[in-house]
A and B are shown apart, each in its own frame.
Chain A
Amino acid sequence: MLKRWLRITVTVGVVAGLVSSLAGLDVARAQAPVRIGVIEPLSGPVAASGNYIRMGAEIARDWLNAKGGVLGRKIDLVIEDNKSDPKEAASAAEKLIVRDKVPAIMGAWGSSMTLAAMPKLEEYGVPMVVETSSAASITKRGNPWIFRISPPSEMEAVGLEQYVPKLTIKKADFLAVNTDWGRGSIQAFGDLLKKNGLQVGAAEFMEQSATDMNAQITKIKSTGGDTLFLTTAVEQITLVLKQAQEQRLNRKIITTGGSSSPTQLIKQAGAAAEGTYHIVFFMPWFPESMPDGKLAKAFVEEWAKRGHPFEGLTEGFRGHDGIMTIAEAVKVAGKDEPTAVRDALWRVNITGVNGPIHFEKDGPAGKESGQSKPSIFIVQIRDGKVALPEFARK
């Protein structure tokens, strides 16, 4: 008898405790910071890029908080490392959603990592702003929780189209990293060239961790082309440029994807980088030429003030723009609840460091993802400095 009473008392006590703590949680939540999840590669082969994006995101957070945050609450970033590994990206997304209960996530740099995290967003119903990945499939799969501010390769190719006649390409070869991104890029730029009546030569691949690309370069040398489109991260671009110089590969080299960090290439590839063209989404060398020159300049200055390396800026701005996009959506929604934030993302209309951010529908009808139309620029390395190519000057 006593036992039974004890059991009932304990049960009631536990339930009461739970209810009151839940209620308490709700009250606390109103003053607690708005938490935004961030998934980036902070270790592993592309750790440098992921850390630059984190630095950019922190600048956005601090700027927003200095102006009072959103909805009268501070902004807090919950940052997770995906270790440059798709499996880790999926578990990081789950952790942020289930344990940290974030209303929105920014991530996850590489296309393969983003694709791996996407099913979790749909499972739990939490939106993600994609800041870097460029594989076309991300917005074509019919995941209505995806909002991308980086350009897919097709969009990049369209951005380059206006310069194609000025680049005097007759026949181009391709060398790309063997991932969703690299393969998609060869497809997109190949289509662009064919559409303009230009010849396409060899399409060669390299593994993400490969360091010796001499075989591919020897093969490309034999096609008799005049231009090489190169798609990979900055470390591998450095190696390809050095090895192309060793093999006297006389080509106009154009890197795509915006992860080329020309400043780092000048430092590490030296003379081998001379004359190369780079498609970028931010030009920290001449911020005044960006769509919002004042904001771009302020960002470059803040970056320098924090002692971050200059070569990181071409990645760092993505972090800033991603967090600004999410913060704006929370403001429009009026609350930090995932579905409300998702609906509000469609109404975001701001100008980031890259330029205007505004989402349009992409993918299968009824389950569209959001895709913004970012600004695309081309720069050239001349005399050991980054410059606007002759034809791109206003």
Chain B
Amino acid sequence: MDQLLQHLLNGLVLGGTYALLGIGLTLIFGLMDVVNFAHGEFYSLGAYATFAGLSLADLNFFAALGVAIVCGIALGALTERVLLRPLRGHSIDTVMLVMIGVWISMQNGELLLWGGVAKSIAHPFPTSPLTLGGLSLAPLRLFVLAAAIGLVVGAHLLVHRTRLGRAMRATFQDADTAALMGVRIHRIYTATFAIGSGLAAAAGALLGSVFIAYPSMGDLASLKAFSVVILGGLGNIGGATVGGLVLGIAEELGAGYVSSGYRDAVGFVIIMAVLLVRPSGLFARAERVG
């Protein structure tokens, strides 16, 4: 029993991190239709920026997290402004190729700047776990889970309760009409990409201290983020959250009770099963007809 509960707890914490990765991408991939292969690189940017803030600028841990998120937003805005804006209206394949280029350049840039040796990010939380009966959880993971919940709720409110969110939804439903209604759609594109990248950087900043930072860390993050977005339904923040939790718990139980050699396979089998029944994901965005 303890073992099952511990697996569920692990799955919840892991799922929370997947959700965090997914919500940023669901904005960019789901709403903007940019197949953002560089999403994982903004994740590793967040981790390395936190590391730099702590070790080079001697910041406090929470300040370093903030700096990392700001870096993600700034670089995201720059990428959109410089690389994606001129390609507006081009085919999705062209944009995809450009994002593959961004992915490779950012990853190699990190390798050049920081070297191949993994970096460990210091954090102020005690390393001895919180325990309840047979269950244990590191305080840092609890903080990450809480922060993830906060960011998911924040992103949801931003999209559904603010003026900017309304403008975003209008732009991606019908850019021409939105422009005619006075929405400055170029700014909306930039803002959406920047927010999505900022969320990826936040995930990297939080998880960098749980795991370790190394140049290719973004590859796995990208893979999981795409899985979560597709599972949850494109462009749906609630869907990405549920998708993340489902994937986290499925992997955890698969590894615990089926075989750890097939851990990732279990996650993908679930995704395939869901897509067979619901081809647009668990919570698909309502498509406009006509």
Contact = CB atoms under 8 A, between A and B. Distances in A.
A162 interface: no
Nearest to B131: A248
A178 interface: yes
Contact of B256 (A48, A211, A218, A234): A218
Which of B115, B138, B141, B260 has the largest number of chain A CB atoms within 10 A? B260
B120 A246 contact: no
Interface string A255-278: 000000000100111111000000
B14 A214 contact: yes
A1 interface: no
Contacts of A238: 118, 120, 212
A248 B127 CA distance: 11
A267 B120 contact: yes
B127 A271 contact: yes
Contacts of B127: 245-246, 270-272
Contacts of B118: 48, 234-235, 238, 268
Interface stretch (B91-99, B155-163, B214-222, B234-242): B214-222
A34 B138 CA distance: 56
B5 to A, nearest CB: 10
Contact of B3 (A204, A219, A248, A269): A219
Contacts of B215: 47
Given A215-B252, A218-B256, A47 B129 contact: no
B264 interface: yes
Nearest to B265: A207
B255 A216 contact: yes
A160 B11 CA distance: 36
A28 B258 CA distance: 63
A87 B116 CA distance: 21
B269 interface: no
Nearest to A207: B264
A44 B220 contact: no
Nearest to A267: B120
Interface string A68-79: 000000000000
A209 B252 contact: no
A215 B256 contact: yes
Contacts of B259: 205
A309 interface: yes
A234 to B, nearest CB: 8
A289 interface: no
Given A215-B7, A222-B3, 10 more contacts: A44-B216, A47-B215, A205-B260, A206-B260, A211-B211, A215-B11, A218-B256, A238-B118, A239-B211, A246-B127
27 contacts: A43-B116, A45-B214, A47-B111, A48-B115, A48-B116, A51-B116, A205-B260, A209-B216, A210-B220, A210-B264, A211-B217, A215-B252, A215-B256, A215-B263, A218-B6, A218-B10, A218-B256, A219-B255, A245-B127, A245-B129, A247-B6, A247-B129, A248-B129, A264-B117, A270-B127, A272-B127, A309-B117
